[in-house]
Chain A
């Protein structure tokens, strides 16, 4: 597939990078990335991935746009209030870049639908806001051997890691089980500074682009934390994969997906 003149111009700042070039841009155009959660993390990630020309972007969310989302979920506008988040996000992505095919999933992830949802994608980005979803996505990606960018944000802090199943440690290597419901505060209870989603979600998009193009070193084997008040990034080296991990060790004890009880956060019945 040759670039059109419009594509050469649209992606010129990528193509001129020696690490990306025309070859890397073609990889982006052929890539498929799934973003789970069209909110604080998913919104900036989706904007950058669409702008970058990631050819197929899946977006999953079972919520509708609410006024209280707009402080941070920059893919939605005031006119989108009441719309399904996946539709609002898809409209914005298509408007940014007609090269992108957007698949929408108006659904929460569960043990029933997640394997089918992730199976056709090259890279998965977790932008969910609750532990049951984060553990489910981790386990599903480990089982399906799908690379994953995991992230979490709260107040003035954020963190992320990149999980390469079979190579580096997974989320469950760090945290064995989800905390009990309401034991750890959620964003709704504790608040989150709007730009935190921008910082961490953009880093997730960066990891997706690096994975697709094969450029640089991924954040596998590390947890990167960001404290906005101290203005400090800190990279924590993780132990190697699988040592006693219930899901990613060579002798896993968790071999089926688990639907943990949903935390109170923003879960609405749909």
Chain B
């Protein structure tokens, strides 16, 4: 199926979960990433159980603590 990850279209396996996508995308500090699917945040407890569907738009939001 086709999904969009951070604005980029990708072909992924049917039934892919959010946690599997996190692994596939080599997300840095995966335990602290915020994930949105179709402009809704997914609770981190729901990463395992959230199955992605064709056309889903996924975003990863990262902590960025620098500034000074």
Asked if A153 contacts B39 (CB within 8 A), the reply is no
B68 to A: closest C-beta gap in Å: 3
Question: Quick one: given A175-B34, A183-B32, are A39 and B40 in contact (CB under 8 Å)?
Answer: no
A157 to B67, CA, bound (A): 11
Asked if A41 contacts B68 (CB within 8 A), the reply is yes
Asked if A151 contacts B61 (CB within 8 A), the reply is no
Asked if A40 contacts B34 (CB within 8 A), the reply is no
A179 to B63, CA, bound (A): 8
Asked if A37 contacts B67 (CB within 8 A), the reply is yes
Name the interface residues of B47-68: CB closer than 8 Å to any CB of A: 59, 61-68
Question: Quick one: given A184-B32, A239-B41, are A42 and B63 in contact (CB under 8 Å)?
Answer: no
Say which residue of A130, A153, A174, A265 sits within 8 Å of B61 (CB atoms): A174
Residues of A within 8 A of B68 (CB): 37-42, 61, 63, 73, 127-129, 187, 265-266
Asked if B67 contacts A184 (CB within 8 A), the reply is no
What are 30 contact pairs spanning A and B, CB under 8 A? Answer: A37-B67, A39-B67, A40-B66, A40-B67, A41-B67, A61-B68, A128-B67, A152-B65, A153-B64, A154-B65, A159-B64, A174-B34, A174-B41, A174-B61, A175-B34, A175-B61, A175-B63, A179-B63, A183-B31, A183-B32, A184-B32, A185-B65, A186-B65, A187-B66, A187-B68, A223-B61, A237-B39, A238-B36, A265-B65, A265-B68
Verify if A134 is at the interface (C-beta below 8 Å from B): yes
A25 to B: closest C-beta gap in Å: 29
Question: How many residues belonging to A are interface residues under a CB distance threshold of 8 Å?
Answer: 44
Verify if B29 is at the interface (C-beta below 8 Å from A): yes
Output the nearest chain B residue to A180 by Cβ-Cβ distance: B32
Output the nearest chain A residue to B40 by Cβ-Cβ distance: A239
A120 to B: closest C-beta gap in Å: 23
Name the interface residues of A164-215: CB closer than 8 Å to any CB of B: 173-175, 179, 183-187, 190, 192, 197
Asked if B63 contacts A184 (CB within 8 A), the reply is yes
Verify if A234 is at the interface (C-beta below 8 Å from B): yes
A133 to B: closest C-beta gap in Å: 9
A152 to B34, CA, bound (A): 15
Verify if B6 is at the interface (C-beta below 8 Å from A): yes
A70 to B: closest C-beta gap in Å: 13
Asked if A152 contacts B64 (CB within 8 A), the reply is yes
A151 to B65, CA, bound (A): 8
Asked if B67 contacts A179 (CB within 8 A), the reply is no
